[in-house]
Amino acid sequence: MNYKNIRVANIKDLKKGEMRQFSVEDNEILLARVEDGFFATAAHCTHYGAPLEKGILNGERVVCPWHNACFGMKTGKLEEPPALDALPHFPVKIEGKDLVVQLPAEIPSQCTPQMAKYNPEADTRTFVILGAGAAGSAAAETLRQAGFEGRIVMLTREDILPYDRTAVSKKYLQYDSKKDSLVLRSLEFYNEWDIEVYSHKLVTKVEAA
């Protein structure tokens, strides 16, 4: 991947504990000063695209102004939902009094957290998640992010992949969005990370043993 070093700001442009959004070649990045370090990430929340500049920088954490998703400013790591993806982060170096950010030719708006894949030789356990709503999907992703290599199965009696139920009471009822636009992740995503989703499955009994 090709990278370029771009002067974004002066070190005096940011006070300690302050963050600002900057335009860089038709893109927006968020620059923050945490203690004596400078850090750069994508400028918008990966949930609904809120401008993080209008949120709160609390220590090393950025809190989204719309739905309170939290990200680590130093790494872009997702720390609190409802966002699903992390923020891309970019190296920052100081040249004289200039803040120079190393950016890729195409600046991504989000990045999927690192996750494990199914490896039955490493782990023979199976987790069955009953209900494929936002919580069920988050549970499956959290297992993979924690390095779980066993089998993950999600069961739902609905005919749709896990979706954002909060959106059902808004644009969907006003016919401003399509059913497929509600889903949290695509089928390709679940296939890539070996998360099995079975629809039209009604659970009537659980034998925990």
Indicate which CATH number applies to the domain containing 18. Answer: 2.102.10.10
Q: Is 207 within a domain?
A: no
Q: Which residues pair with 139 in a beta bridge?
A: none
Q: What is the pLDDT of residue 174?
A: 61
For residue 52, give every residue at least 6 positions away whose Cβ sits within 8 Å of its Cβ, in sequence order, or none.
19, 21, 30, 41, 43, 44, 45, 62, 64, 65, 71
Q: Note whether residue 118 is domain-resident.
A: no
Residues 85 and 176 both lie in one domain: no
| Residue 196: strand pairing partners | 153
Measured distance CA(19)–CA(52) in Å, rounded: 9
Mean pLDDT, to the nearest integer, of 202-209?
90
The structural domain count of the chain equals 2
For 52, phi and psi rounded to 5 degrees? -65, -20
175 or 94, greater pLDDT: 94
Give percent of the chain with pLDDT exceeding 70. Answer: 93
Note whether 161 and 96 are same-domain residues. Answer: no
**Domain with 84 in it:** 3-104
Sheet strands side by side (includes 3-10): 3-10, 98-104, 92-95
- The string of pLDDT tens digits covering residues 10-62 is 999 999 999 999 998 888 999 999 988 999 999 999 998 999 999 999 999 99
The CATH number given to whatever domain includes residue 146 is 3.50.50.60
Task: Provide the 3-class DSSP secondary structure of residue 182.
Answer: helix
Boundary-marking domain end, from 104, 138, 165 = 104
Which residues is 99 bridged to in the sheet? 9, 94
Q: Round to whole Å and give the CA distance between 39 and 31.
A: 6
Same domain, 184 and 137: yes
Question: Could you report the per-residue pLDDT of 170-185, keeping only the tens digit for each?
Answer: 665 566 555 566 899 9
